[in-house]
Amino acid sequence: MAQNQCIFEYSNFGNGYLRIYFLKDNKTTENEIFIDLQDYPIKNGVVAKLEPLVERIKQELKELNVKNLQSPLLLLRCAEIHKNSLFLPIKSSFQANSLYKKEMKLKNNKDLFVPISNSYKSELGYMFNTYYIPKLIIESFNNIEKMLNTEFVGVQPLGMFLAEKLNYKGTYVYFYIKEKVCTMIMVSDKDLITSYDFEFETERDILSKFLLVASKHEFEVDKKQISYYDINSDESINVDLGIKRIDEK
């Protein structure tokens, strides 16, 4: 098959899963491998024994007639990732970035975490969101890439990737639901405002998380009303958020 963009999507919530898929034209999923990690025990956020998992991946790739993996992208939705938000009531982007870099130096924990950040400008200043990814998880996938004879082109929290791919306008909330785990992102004028990964049991759990985050977003920092929402789910979800879905606009 022709080589399209390859994505590794790893979740360690619950039993965990590894989803490997190929995007055609950077949009449509053309082929997919889904591995439930129930038979591959997870310890400290990573698969304890990589060899059986890698052999499974190789076999699945062979069945898809994929002879090599070209620059896959690693997306993570992991319980161990935590976020820190820093708001700077400053108009100058240069000054805001300088202060943020100084703050990051003070929080130097690079031996344990790899920070990945995004920022956006609001009417009141600049907000910096930093997502701290455990190095143990990244190192685990470094070993996987060596065993697969490939090299990851980058690593991101899943929510950050979703915000970059979606083409919706205005201010909205988006839910990506798979295997009883929800990644909820809020985006305003193409800027990722926040991203949360959480397990849920009922639709009420999703609604509660949305209301908590929406109130903070609308009333404390940005003071922008959330206009609409959309859902990509592997199960039927019916949540009354009090706003319209994208196809109802």
How far apart are the C-alpha atoms of 188 and 77, rounded to whole Å?
22
Contact in structure between 197 and 182 (CB atoms under 8 Å): yes
pLDDT of residue 68: 84
pLDDT of residue 225: 80
pLDDT of residue 166: 92
pLDDT of residue 128: 94
pLDDT of residue 116: 94
Considering the entire predicted model, what is its pTM? Answer: 0.92
The residues, any chain, with a CB within 8 Å of residue 28's CB and separated by 6 or more, are: none
* Residue 104 burial class via C-beta count within 10 angstroms: exposed 0-12, middle 13-18, buried 19 and up: middle
pLDDT of residue 226: 86
Contact in structure between 115 and 132 (CB atoms under 8 Å): yes
* Residue 124 burial class via C-beta count within 10 angstroms: exposed 0-12, middle 13-18, buried 19 and up: middle
Q: Determine the distance from the C-alpha atom of residue 115 to the mean position of all C-alpha atoms in its chain, rounded to a whole number.
A: 14
How far apart are the C-alpha atoms of 191 and 121, rounded to whole Å?
9
pLDDT digits over 124-149, tens only? 899 999 999 999 999 999 999 999 99
pLDDT of residue 184: 96
| pLDDT less than 70: residues of the chain | 1-3, 26-27, 108, 217-223, 248-249
